[in-house]
Amino acid sequence: MPTLTPELQRKCIDTIRFLAVDAVENANSGHPGLPMGAAPMAFVLWTRHLRFNPNDPRWAGRDRFILSAGHGSMLLYALLHLAGFKVSIDDLKRFRQLHSNTPGHPEFGDTDGVEATTGPLGQGVANAVGFALSQKMLAARLGEGALDTTVYSICSDGDLMEGVASEASSLAGHLGLGNLILLYDDNHVSLAGHTEITFTEDRLGRYAAYGWHTLRVEDGNDVEAIDRAIATARAVKDRPSIISVRTVLGYGAPTKANTHEAHGSPLGKDEVRRTKENLGWPLEPTFLVPDDVRAFWAGRVEELKKDYEAWQKRFAQWRSSNADKARVFDQLASRAVPGNLADELVKVVAAVKEADSTRKVASSVLQKAAELVPALVGGSADLDPSTLTYLKDKGDVGRGQYGGRNIHFGVREHGMGSIVNGFAYDGFFLPYSGTFLVFSDYMRPPIRISALSKLRSIFVFTHDSVLLGEDGPTHQPIEHLAALRAIPNIQLWRPGDPLEVAASWAAALERDDGPTVLVFTRQKLPPLQRATPGDIQKVLRGAYALVEPQLEAGEDPELCIVATGSELPVAQSALGLLDSRLAAKTRLVSMPCVERFLSWNGDAQRKLIPHDTKTKLVAVEAAGGLDWYRIIGDGLMVGIDRFGASAPEKAIADAFGLTPQKVAGRIQKWLQEGARTNTKR
């Protein structure tokens, strides 16, 4: 490993800068300014502090690095290339191109070494809080000597402007997450201009008020000051740290440094040439990595390899001396779910015979799930008494006390969702959150990112319709089910009885390729009338016939009604109010999970819900039903196309046409009119 002289150090830093500049210029797209200014702090972090292994990117003993300022992705890709991860020069040349592993913003799962999908500002900061809390909770279960990791994140002005970062940072300070270090790229420039036009608060003062340890480095090129600041922050164990590093956006560019033009656009060929001349960098070849720079990084990787091997030996010794805790580690690392989970959860609801809310039934199912799945942890946005998502006798997480399984997120829905994703990225827990369905509006960004990243996040929502009653239209969701179902790779469950509740939790915990949304009622639902005992395996497919008419061989039903959640018992009661001849030819389908039904092949779908036949199709759901065209085509949607009202549940049901009598009447009228229009109520 070459001696790191001042000249070699400058060359190493400029290599990072110009790999970013050349990649952005080659793609004619990207954000060169942040990598140019933040290269020194990134270099110091990666070569003096961060523990990693490019040959085992997910090893448990590594430190975590999250680039919250994901628009500066070329900073991360340059580091990954130099550090020996599977990011080649050719990959850098394909920056922002189709099917490359160097997309415009870092994407978890696409690129080795990328810990989180970032880019929507503030999300990465909140993810980092999730990582840090996950590691604290893991360490609490394993005891001293097992794991000691640090979570680092580089963030920008834009990250700190977004409210999600404030929510998560507030909670991190409250919980005293001393394993979290935030490096703030304080360059005073945002996309539209200098930050002085919008962002003049005392950022470090704000973080001090959150309970963070704060430091400032006045010169972003002063590598020794940066090194000292990181070392100081690492020594603070009882609170998170933020280091404000005063950098220059687009450092070295003669006319574009410290201007917003360098933030989100290529420098341009002339400016690139002048920048290279200004910093003494060869004009050719592009994507240059000098031999001594490559040798230095190879030496750093070799040093870390020795540390990695020593860690593996220590961990093996720890395992042999702590067999019980080693089993806990293995359980958590695999996020193991029993193969008979669904059958066990069904036992919880087998004796439920009386009317009850699905949120209350779900609470009982959740308690059993927590016994069977040690990795299950979570909490709510200050709503445990309403969402009923508290794990009984499982302990609370608090400052310096991380052994519990209940996380009190406070009224911070956006931050909660992103912290849950941080847990899921880290990969040791199965995390869930809880709030009212109407507040999924606050959580849509992290829910979307969880779907994009295929995370095992679970988002629990209660108070799922206008039928929650007196709280009124501000709290009564209308468009929310359709909005959530519109997100690719989401599976949303809206169960209508205890069996379906058990299935929904089993499905959520077993799913390993994306997030699950669970939606439960506040109001009590009457028991369903099942001709035969319910089959959870059928329910797990997402749709099944609850009522099957007596049909001749090859005959399709005359009417097929599809319902979910609280409208399932309403639809079943409405069936008994239809003309008796029609009722005898009607199939009632329960569809607790639309996405699972849509994954069936076409023949299977048409067998349950006939299309291109004389069968008339109806969907019943207490929500705006624009998404139901996928299921019923031009059939009848009995739903809601306006905001709710403040009134008792029964009055609401009557006013919005959600009683059995009014649902039956709506269907009869539609059929009498010739079933020509797809109208909503």
Shared-domain flag, residues 503 and 608: no
Nearest to 540, CA basis, from 488, 490, 589, 505 = 505
Looking at residue 676, its pLDDT comes to: 55
Residue 500 has, within 13 A of its CA and on its CB side, a CA count of: 32
Residue type, 534: G
Together in a domain, 356 and 280: no
Cα separation of 210 and 228, whole Å?
Answer: 23
Q: Are residues 31 and 106 in the same domain?
A: yes
| Residues 62 and 193 occupy one common structural domain | yes
Are 163 and 250 found together in one domain? yes
Contacts by residues 226-230 (CB-CB < 8 Å, ≥ 24 positions apart): 226/40, 226/41, 226/44, 226/45, 227/44, 227/48, 227/49, 230/44, 230/45, 230/48, 230/49, 230/181, 230/183
Rounded CA separation 518/433 (Å) = 10
Positions in the chain whose pLDDT score sits under 70: 676-681
Contact call for residues 450 and 425 (beta carbons, < 8 A): no
**Residue 541 Cα distances to 235, 544, 549, 599, 605, angstroms:** 52, 8, 21, 9, 11
Domain residues for the domain of 143 are 6-304
H or E stretch covering 295: helix 291-321
Asked whether residue 333 is assigned to any structural domain, the reply reads no
Name the pairing type of β-strands 458-462 and 559-563. Answer: unpaired
β-strands 524-525, 356-357 pairing? antiparallel
Catalytic annotation present for 413:
yes
pTM: 0.96
Query: Residue 388: left (phi > 0), alpha (psi -120 to 50), or beta?
Result: left
Alpha carbon distance 100, 102 (integer Å)? 5
Cα 400 from chain centre = 26
Q: What is the CATH number of the domain that holds 375?
A: 3.40.50.970
- Half-sphere exposure (Cβ direction) of 105: Cα atoms closer than 13 Å: 18
**CA-closest candidate to residue 76, choices 23, 5, 148, 149:** 23
Query: 366 with 493, same domain?
Result: yes
Are residues 299 and 360 part of one domain? no
Give the domain CATH number at 550: 3.40.50.920
**How far apart, in whole angstroms, are the C-alpha atoms of residue 599 and residue 604?**
10
Q: SS3 for 452-512, per residue?
A: HCCCCCEEEEECCCHHHCCCCCCCCCCCHHHHHHCCCCCEEECCCCHHHHHHHHHHHHHCC
Residues 300 and 419 in one domain: no
Are both 246 and 393 inside the same structural domain?
no
Three-class SS state of 388: coil
Q: What is the pLDDT of residue 359?
A: 97
30 CB-near residues (< 8 Å, 6+ apart) = 23, 24, 73, 74, 95, 96, 104, 264, 266
Task: Give the domain-ending residue among 251, 286, 304.
Answer: 304
Structural domain ending residue among the three candidates 491, 525, 559: 525
- Residue 679 confidence (pLDDT): 44
Q: Which long-range contacts (CB under 8 A, 24 or more apart) does 207-210 make?
A: 207/169, 207/173, 207/242, 210/169, 210/170, 210/172, 210/173, 210/174
| pLDDT tens digits, 408-462 | 999 999 999 999 999 999 999 999 999 999 999 999 999 999 999 999 999 999 9
Question: How far are the Cα atoms of 84, 567, 571 from residue 663, in angstroms, in the given order?
Answer: 64, 10, 7
| Residue 58 in domain | yes
Q: What is the largest CA-CA distance in the chain?
A: 91
Marked catalytic residue, from 107, 167, 413, 500: 413
- 298 and 180 in a common domain: yes
Which of 256, 289, 304 delimits the end of a domain?
304
At residue 429, the pLDDT reads 98
Find tokens 């240059």 and name the residue. Answer: 288
361 and 277, same structural domain?
Answer: no
CA 46/CA 43 separation, integer angstroms: 5
Is 532 within a domain? no
Residue 172 counted as domain residue: yes
Domain for residue 602, yes or no? yes
The number of distinct structural domains making up the chain is 3
Residue 479 main-chain phi, psi, to 5 deg: -90, 0
Other C-beta atoms lying within 10 Å of the C-beta of residue 411: 14
How long, in residues, is the chain? 681
What single-letter DSSP state applies at residue 553? T
Specify the amino acid at residue 508.
A
| Residue with token string 């097992």 | 146
Task: Provide the pairing of β-strand 189-190 with 193-194.
Answer: antiparallel
Please report whether residue 426 resides in a domain.
yes
Residues 373-403 have pLDDT tens digits of: 999 999 999 999 999 999 999 999 999 999 9
DSSP 162: S
Let me know whether 591 and 468 are in one domain. Answer: no
CB 54: neighbour CB atoms within 10 A? Answer: 17
Residue 315 · residue 21 · CB < 8 Å = no
